[in-house]
Amino acid sequence: MPSTFAPEPPYTHGQAERTAVLLCNLGTPDEPTAPAVRRYLAQFLGDHRVVEIPKLLWWPILHGIILRTRPAKSAAKYASIWTPEGSPLAHWTAKQATLLRGWLGEAGHAVLVRHAMRYGNPSIASQLDALKAEGATRILILPLYPQYSATTTASVFDAVYTWAARTRNVPELRFVNHYHDAPGYIDALARTIETHWKHHGQPDQLVMSFHGVPERTLHLGDPYHCEARKTGRLLAERLGLREERYRITFQSRFGKAKWLEPYTQPTIEALGKAGTRRVDVVCPGFTSDCLETLEEINMEVREAFLHAGGQEFHYIPCLNDNNHWITALSRVAQQHLAGWPTEAPTAAALADARSHAQAGGAPAGACPVAH
């Protein structure tokens, strides 16, 4: 009878056990074209964590209307922010993994670090397969979402569980739910803003804009709203801003349902109409610049503010490859790695792992565990 599990390489043979971190982000289309955006949106909006409408009702809307109309419009927006390195989200996420690898590989430590995308490439399953092939027997799943939401964080976890369910020799797994109040993360955000203000002076209003989610998810127990507001409050406290100097808003509404309020664009338009001269916008929930920050905020919302009578609009970039942010991320990782060996394998461990493959009378290379 054929096995339901794919054959796995006897990956521990000739290798010592390794600890790994998998940074997970949302994902992005492979190209700024309608077919590539359609493939991406089909996977994204077909995820029941993202759109909680029963499949029987949602599928005809998604495949009959949304995936026929939205990809071309979204592709044009993606084209407006695309860089020679590709999608900004993909570029920054890959760079964060490279920089974190430097941090976690220092002083005799040898933690493997990779990145994966929940939708699109490189997929979570392909990166978990690759880590296993490199000898990872302990994997920390670290979503690049500081605030927990079932729509994002839990969906990453779903993809990991799905991979584990088809894997025979499952590594030890740990999951980071959130770090919305981690001092290093708040400090990195504050320093980015302070650096901007050092060069450009302070605004009349600082708007902290977070991605929205449907309001009903808050009533159903999703902590995202509270975590986003707490990040905002801690950031304001760290900056020494009094309440009248900042707002916490929610952007990127999708569909007709009520989402978390206040909405970013109407709030900023109202500020412009009320005579607010300068608004600065920062997006603390996005750890990488992406379509929602570079196009929606820095293009659409900027234009709406200036059109409403505002004079100056400053967009403050996301944490991206900021040194303080990578330090904060490494602290979050280290806290969750506690108790797991992270040292580089010793020569003795490597020799032991190599010799066991020939030992014990089993077919050469067949035994998965040193004995």
Ligand X SMILES: C=CC1=C(C)c2cc3[nH]c(cc4nc(cc5[nH]c(cc1n2)c(C)c5CCC(=O)O)C(CCC(=O)O)=C4C)c(C)c3C=C
Chain contacts with ligand X (rule: CB under 6 A): 26, 28, 50, 70, 74, 87, 89, 145, 149, 151-152, 211, 213-214, 252, 254, 285-286, 290-292
- In the list 226, 257, 351, 359, the residue contacting Fe ion (rule: CB under 5 A) is 226
Residue closer to Fe ion (CB basis): 121 or 327: 121
- Of the ranges 52-60, 157-165, 200-208, 217-225, which one interacts with Fe ion (CB under 5 A)? 217-225
Residue closer to ligand X (CB basis): 149 or 276: 149
79 contacts Fe ion (rule: CB under 5 A) = no
As measured in angstroms, the least distance from the Cβ of 46 to ligand X is: 11
Core vs surface per residue 86-105: b (16+ CB within 10 A) or e: ebbbbbbbbbbbebbbebbe
As measured in angstroms, the least distance from the Cβ of 229 to Fe ion is: 6
Q: Which residues pair with 314 in a beta bridge?
A: 280
- In the list 18, 225, 302, 336, the residue contacting Fe ion (rule: CB under 5 A) is 225
| Element at 249 (helix H, strand E) | strand 246-251
Contact (Cβ atoms closer than 8 angstroms) between residue 92 and residue 288: yes
Give 31's Cβ-side CA count (13 Å radius): 4
Residue closer to Fe ion (CB basis): 286 or 305: 286
On whether 172 is known to bind a ligand per the annotation, the reply is no
Answer with the entry of Fe ion, ligand X, none that 151 interacts with (C-beta below 5 to 8 A by kind): ligand X
- Of the ranges 16-24, 193-201, 225-233, 341-349, which one interacts with Fe ion (CB under 5 A)? 225-233
Answer with the entry of ligand X, Fe ion, none that 213 interacts with (C-beta below 5 to 8 A by kind): ligand X
Answer with the entry of ligand X, Fe ion, none that 209 interacts with (C-beta below 5 to 8 A by kind): none
* Structure tokens given for 250: 């929610």
As measured in angstroms, the least distance from the Cβ of 250 to Fe ion is: 11
Span between the terminal Cα atoms of the chain, in Å: 30
* Structure tokens given for 39: 């493939």
Answer with the entry of ligand X, Fe ion, none that 225 interacts with (C-beta below 5 to 8 A by kind): Fe ion
Rounded to whole angstroms, the maximal C-alpha distance in the chain is: 83
Taking the C-alpha atoms of residue 251 and residue 369, their distance in angstroms, rounded to an integer, is 50
Contact (Cβ atoms closer than 8 angstroms) between residue 163 and residue 309: no
Residue closer to ligand X (CB basis): 27 or 171: 27
* Structure tokens given for 120: 């699109």
Answer with the entry of Fe ion, ligand X, none that 119 interacts with (C-beta below 5 to 8 A by kind): none
Residue closer to Fe ion (CB basis): 226 or 359: 226
The dihedrals phi and psi of 342, each to the nearest 5 degrees, come to -125, 5
On whether 211 is known to bind a ligand per the annotation, the reply is yes
**Helices (H), ranges, the chain:** 34-45, 55-61, 67-81, 88-104, 124-133, 153-165, 183-200, 215-219, 224-239, 264-273, 291, 302-307, 323-337, 347-356
Taking the C-alpha atoms of residue 1 and residue 14, their distance in angstroms, rounded to an integer, is 30
Residue closer to Fe ion (CB basis): 103 or 254: 254
Residue 321 exposed, middle or buried by CB count within 10 Å (0-12, 13-18, 19+): middle
Answer with the entry of ligand X, Fe ion, none that 285 interacts with (C-beta below 5 to 8 A by kind): ligand X
Taking the C-alpha atoms of residue 276 and residue 44, their distance in angstroms, rounded to an integer, is 37
As measured in angstroms, the least distance from the Cβ of 221 to ligand X is: 15
As measured in angstroms, the least distance from the Cβ of 233 to Fe ion is: 11
As measured in angstroms, the least distance from the Cβ of 74 to ligand X is: 4
Answer with the entry of Fe ion, ligand X, none that 249 interacts with (C-beta below 5 to 8 A by kind): none
Q: Which residues are annotated as a binding site?
A: 211, 292
Binding site for Fe ion (CB under 5 A): 225-226
Q: Which residues are annotated as a binding site for Fe(2+)?
A: 211, 292
